[in-house]
Amino acid sequence: MRTGYPILAGLLFGAGLAISGMLDPARVRAFLDVFGDWDPTLAFVMGGALIVMAAAWAVQRRMNTSLAGTNFDLPDTTTIDTRLVGGAAMFGIGWGIAGLCPGPAVASLGTAIGPAAIFVVSMAMGVALQRVLVR
């Protein structure tokens, strides 16, 4: 069942994105267009995610291991450095241009394969480039 939990979580996440309409890049771009025809839907989706995540953190603090029996792999640092800020900026710029972030892009492979595939391939190339440059 160890591989079942991530698959179930991914399916649940993808279904949530599809139901909320976040697979539509136009809706995401409309959220980012604060001086135009602003669509607050993404703010409600994020708010719902924050509530679920707050509950998950509260439960996790009381657990020694995950439901799969593995240790939790949590970040060991809270340092804000140049790499973190640069990565966050690149993520935000890419999200604003494409209207997709990694989760919705992968989920969109089931509905809009052309644009989503271009994004996912570009994302994979960026990850590979980062790994080469860090070495």
Domain region containing 65:
4-134
Average pLDDT, the chain: 86
Distance (Å, whole) CA 118 – CA 46: 25
Residue 59: predicted pLDDT: 92
Confidence of residue 1 (pLDDT cuts 50, 70, 90): low
Which two three-digit tokens encode residue 27? 């809706």
pLDDT in tens, 9-40: 888 888 888 888 888 888 888 888 889 999 99
82-98 helix and 25-32 helix, angle to the nearest 10 degrees: 120
Q: How many domains does the chain have?
A: 1
Residue 10: predicted pLDDT: 85
User: Mean pLDDT: which of 43-47, 73-77, 130-134 is highest?
Assistant: 43-47
Residue 52: predicted pLDDT: 92
Distance (Å, whole) CA 21 – CA 58: 28
Distance (Å, whole) CA 89 – CA 108: 23
Tell me how long the chain is.
135
pLDDT in tens, 45-62: 999 999 999 999 899 989
Count of alpha carbons within 13 angstroms of residue 72, beta-carbon side: 14
